């Protein structure tokens, strides 16, 4: 469904320093630098797949989504979505996709959302009966009721986001690009949207590519994740495999009949076990995947366990660790680059003299 | 999107556009108040014409000219340049680009949808035109009235295309707002909006006739006030020139849009 090969997007951005003199200087001599937002990205996504697209701020996620949606022209590389070249923005292609940008809205601000739905149905050329059926179904699924008849400006953020989804889905797209769809929503609303998106994917067989800083969105929706950093894909595979690679441990949560100290629990469970969360009688410990069985059996025999569960560490923690590693590598790379620039600058006069 | 799809979508787009215009009626009223410059100019020129006509303009001709100017501007006015500038700078153009209706067609339909509300605002002026002595300064030739509709349509297209072209500069420079302000300043003078073009010295008139601006306001106004009554052939030449400028502007729009979209950064979200 989605094929991306060696995709690259570079922006030429003006460099302007603060201050009056810098501002005046830029009138006569403007300097630019090239920022590579996406660098040699290749990926392939099958029809109906749900994929999380993850990375720290500025990693190139949204730029990639915008290229897939046809908003941005790639600097180089190829991409096709269901046989279409997105940057051509053919009407047939636009009828197959939707892009929801969490920070942008398409609802008409001073009119009720239902007017935007009508507008989209007309523009996407949706037959009247299909439109009414889809709209009513979506309004019911998202429990919107009469909300759609109030002017958009009077709606809460959650209500607006739900209406945004209805507006974006009126033409029943087959590919959903969701960029931070739950941004700023409360926990209940986030859960509602996740359930809805998942149901839509299952009912319509739609392909989903999601970016979100809320790892719960990804955990609930995406069996597969693609991690990007500095414009490059650093991981592409299952969530479980990512957890295994980044944190080769399991999280064992113990509920005890009485309060216990971390030292007591670590002592009872033996070496290689580390308490990572502790709340009186409830403790979370991390243990190597190979030693999980032994750890559980020791816990059951040596501690007053009332409940026990074994899981992968939360995706949130995995991503934090992954991004910490990559930002450390980034700092190191930046320091190297600065050192190289300094060395070049120092070496310049010598070069001049040699010349 | 095919022309048939555009035609199918147009009624809903126009209806929603009209609903928006009604929702922004207070804003529209304020906008109408900002377009009352012709009345100010009417007062100034009328005072100056007390002792005798200015060129061909006596009191009646001046009243007819400036009231017609007000009506023409209500119908052909465009804010698309400002809209595109904001949409490009704030990234809101993305929403329009994701719909299978060309964003420029959508802007044009939104403008068309606002015409009824603007016409409503201009209605009292039309009543005054017809109820006062200014009426005698209007065209009496049915052919002129018919061709006035053609000229108004072309003036509307020319104005919106110029707005599109300047708005698209936002793809290339930080903001096209200043360019729009300069355009507007030149437009006010060179289009006949503030001053009838035939009161300019001959050399200035010749220079102005080489520019597109007179086809945005002065030509339809001159048809309105009967300047071409019984001169269908001369009017046909003027309309051909107006159509020519409209096509040139369309070409510029096509160039600015296609090149601009390639540079579009879709920033802001």
Q: Are B33 and B133 in contact (CB under 8 A)?
A: no
Instruction: Let me know if A249 is exposed, middle or buried by CB neighbors in 10 A (0-12, 13-18, 19+).
Output: buried
Is B16–A118 a contact, with Cβ atoms under 8 angstroms apart?
A: yes
Query: How many other CB atoms are found less than 10 A from the CB of residue B201?
Result: 8
CA angle B44, B45, B50 (to 5 degrees): 105
> Cα(B247)–Cα(A234) distance, rounded to whole angstroms?
51
Q: How far is CA A71 from each of CA A272, B49, B197, B264, rounded to the nearest angstrom?
A: 50, 57, 44, 8
- With CA atoms as reference, the chain B residue closest to A121 would be B9
Q: Which tokens go with A81?
A: 């979505």
> Cα(B192)–Cα(A342) distance, rounded to whole angstroms?
62
Residue A284: its H or E element: strand A282-288
Q: Are B269 and A180 in contact (CB under 8 A)?
A: no
pLDDT value of position A93: 93
Which of A191, A226, A243 represents a domain boundary (last residue)? Answer: A243
Residues 35-74 of A with CB under 8 A from B: 62, 66, 69-73
CATH of the domain at A88: 3.40.50.300
Q: How far is CA B173 from each of CA A36, A107, B78, B261, B268, rounded to the nearest angstrom?
A: 20, 28, 21, 13, 17
* Candidates A99, A111, A125; nearest CB to B98: A99
Q: Return the DSSP state at B54.
A: B
Phi, psi of B71 (to 5 degrees): -65, -45
3-state helix, strand, coil in chain A (%, to 5): 45, 30, 25
For residue A26, the enclosing domain spans 2-243
With beta carbons under 8 A apart, name residues in chain A contacting B24.
110
Q: Are A198 and A109 part of one and the same domain? A: yes
B52-78 per-position pLDDT tens digit: 788 788 888 888 899 899 999 989 989
Identify whether A67 is part of a domain: yes
Q: Are A63 and A29 part of one and the same domain? A: yes
- Look at residues A116, A113, A136, A112 and name the one whose alpha carbon lies nearest to residue A124: A116
Identify whether A32 is part of a domain: yes
Which of A243, A260, A294 represents a domain boundary (last residue)? Answer: A243
Crossing angle of helices B3-23 and B25-34, in 10° steps, is 90
Q: Are A55 and A81 part of one and the same domain? A: yes
Identify whether A320 is part of a domain: no
Residue B181: its H or E element: helix B177-190
Identify whether A16 is part of a domain: yes
* Residue A262 to chain B, least CA–CA distance (Å): 45
Does B33 have pLDDT greater than 80? no
Query: How many other CB atoms are found less than 10 A from the CB of residue B10?
Result: 17
Q: Are A164 and A292 part of one and the same domain? A: no
What average pLDDT does the segment B39-63 reach? 84
Residue B88: its H or E element: helix B80-90
pLDDT value of position B224: 92
> Cα(B127)–Cα(B124) distance, rounded to whole angstroms?
5
The per-residue DSSP string of A12-65 comes to EEEE--SSHHHHHHHHH--EEEEEEEEEEEEEEE-TT-EEEEE-STTSSHHHHH
pLDDT value of position B126: 79
CB pairs under 8 A between A and B: 85
Under-70 pLDDT residues of chain A = 23, 26-27, 102-104, 325-355
pLDDT value of position A4: 92
Identify whether A333 is part of a domain: no
With beta carbons under 8 A apart, name residues in chain B contacting A12.
none
* Residue A23 to chain B, least CA–CA distance (Å): 14
Q: Are B159 and B248 in contact (CB under 8 A)?
A: no
Is B97–A125 a contact, with Cβ atoms under 8 angstroms apart?
A: no
What's the total number of domains in chain A? 2
Which of A243, A261, A286 represents a domain boundary (last residue)? Answer: A243
Which range has highest mean pLDDT (A136-140, A273-277, B4-8, B250-254)? B250-254
Does B267 have pLDDT greater than 80? no
Q: Are A103 and A7 part of one and the same domain? A: yes
Identify whether A343 is part of a domain: no
* Residue B102 to chain A, least CA–CA distance (Å): 9
Q: Are A132 and A280 part of one and the same domain? A: no
Identify whether A37 is part of a domain: yes
A106 contact B CB<8A:
yes
* Residue A284 to chain B, least CA–CA distance (Å): 38
Choose, out of B21, B172, B266, the residue to mutate when testing the contact with A (most A CBs < 10 Å): B266
Q: Are A257 and A290 part of one and the same domain? A: yes
B75-88 per-position pLDDT tens digit: 998 999 999 999 99
The ranges assigned to domains in chain B are 3-263
CATH of the domain at A259: 3.30.70.250
Share of chain B above pLDDT 90, in %: 48
pLDDT value of position B108: 93
Q: Are A48 and A151 part of one and the same domain? A: yes
Q: Are A30 and A170 part of one and the same domain? A: yes
Q: Are A79 and A136 part of one and the same domain? A: yes
With beta carbons under 8 A apart, name residues in chain B contacting A91.
1-2, 5, 100
Q: Are A203 and A278 part of one and the same domain? A: no
pLDDT value of position A332: 65
For residues A185 and B114, which has the higher predicted lDDT (pLDDT)?
B114
What 3-state DSSP class applies to A287? Answer: strand
Is A111–B19 a contact, with Cβ atoms under 8 angstroms apart?
A: yes
Q: How far is CA B225 from each of CA A306, B118, B133, B190, rounded to the nearest angstrom?
A: 95, 21, 13, 19
Is A120–B100 a contact, with Cβ atoms under 8 angstroms apart?
A: no
Q: Are A143 and A163 part of one and the same domain? A: yes
> Cα(B266)–Cα(B269) distance, rounded to whole angstroms?
8
pLDDT value of position A350: 35
With beta carbons under 8 A apart, name residues in chain A contacting B23.
110-111, 151
- With CA atoms as reference, the chain B residue closest to A97 would be B98
A284 contact B CB<8A:
no
Q: Which tokens go with B40?
A: 């100010």
A266-288 per-position pLDDT tens digit: 888 888 888 888 888 888 888 88
């Amino acid at each position: 469904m989605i094929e991306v090969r060696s995709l690259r997007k570079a922006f030429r951005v003006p460099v302007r320093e603060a201050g009056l003199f810098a501002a005046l200087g830029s009138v006569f001599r403007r300097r630019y630098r090239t920022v590579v937002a996406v660098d040699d990205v290749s990926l392939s996504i099958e029809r109906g797949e749900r994929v999380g697209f993850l990375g720290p701020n500025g990693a190139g996620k949204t730029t990639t989504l915008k290229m897939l949606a046809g908003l941005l022209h790639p600097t180089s590389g190829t991409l096709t979505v269901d046989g279409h070249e997105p940057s051509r923005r053919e009407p047939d292609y636009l009828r197959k996709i939707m892009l929801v940008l969490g920070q942008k809205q398409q609802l008409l601000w001073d009119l009720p959302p239902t007017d935007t739905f009508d507008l989209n149905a007309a523009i996407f050329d949706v037959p009247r009966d299909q439109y009414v059926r889809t709209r009513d179904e979506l309004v019911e699924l998202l429990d919107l009721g009469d909300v759609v008849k109030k002017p958009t400006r009077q709606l809460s953020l959650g209500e607006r986001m739900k209406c945004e989804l209805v507006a974006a889905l009126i033409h029943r797209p087959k590919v959903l690009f969701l960029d931070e769809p739950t941004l700023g929503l409360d926990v209940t609303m986030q859960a509602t949207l996740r359930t809805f998106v998942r149901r839509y994917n299952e009912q319509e067989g739609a392909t989903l590519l999601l970016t979100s800083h809320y790892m719960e969105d990804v955990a609930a929706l995406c069996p597969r994740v693609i991690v990007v950093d500095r414009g490059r894909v650093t991981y592409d595979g299952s969530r479980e495999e990512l957890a295994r690679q980044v944190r080769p441990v399991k999280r064992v949560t113990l509920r005890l009949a009485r309060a216990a100290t971390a030292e007591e629990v670590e002592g009872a469970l033996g070496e290689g076990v580390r308490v990572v969360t502790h709340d009186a009688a409830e403790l979370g410990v991390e243990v190597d995947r190979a030693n999980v069985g032994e750890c559980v059996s020791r816990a059951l025999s040596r501690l007053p366990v009332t409940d026990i569960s074994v899981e992968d560490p939360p995706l949130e923690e995995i991503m934090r660790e992954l991004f910490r590693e990559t930002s450390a590598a980034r700092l190191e790379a930046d320091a190297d680059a600065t050192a190289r620039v300094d060395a070049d600058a120092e070496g310049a006069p010598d070069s001049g003299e040699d010349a | 999107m095919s022309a048939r799809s555009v035609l199918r979508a147009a009624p809903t787009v126009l209806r929603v556009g009209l609903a928006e215009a009604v929702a922004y009626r207070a804003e529209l009223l304020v906008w109408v108040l900002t377009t009352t410059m012709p009345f100010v100019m009417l007062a100034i020129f009328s005072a100056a014409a007390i002792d005798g006509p200015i060129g061909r303009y006596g009191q009646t001709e001046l009243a007819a000219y400036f009231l017609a100017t007000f009506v023409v501007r209500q119908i052909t006015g465009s804010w698309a340049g400002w809209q595109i500038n904001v949409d490009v700078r704030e990234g809101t153009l993305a929403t329009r680009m994701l719909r299978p209706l060309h964003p420029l067609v959508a802007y044009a339909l939104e403008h068309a949808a606002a015409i009824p509300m603007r016409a409503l605002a201009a209605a009292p002026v039309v009543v005054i035109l017809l109820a006062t002595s200014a009426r005698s300064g209007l065209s009496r030739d049915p052919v002129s009235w018919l061709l006035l509709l053609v000229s108004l349509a072309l003036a509307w297209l020319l104005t919106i295309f110029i707005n599109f072209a300047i708005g698209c500069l936002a793809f290339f420079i930080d903001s096209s707002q200043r360019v729009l302000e300069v355009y507007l300043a030149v437009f006010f003078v060179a289009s006949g909006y503030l001053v009838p073009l035939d009161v300019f010295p001959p050399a200035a008139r010749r220079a102005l006739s080489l520019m597109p601006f007179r086809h945005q306001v002065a030509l339809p106004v001159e048809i309105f006030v009967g300047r071409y009554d019984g001169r269908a052939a001369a009017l046909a030449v003027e309309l051909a020139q107006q159509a020519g400028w409209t096509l040139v502007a369309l070409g510029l729009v096509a160039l600015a849009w296609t090149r601009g979209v390639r540079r579009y950064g879709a920033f802001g979200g």
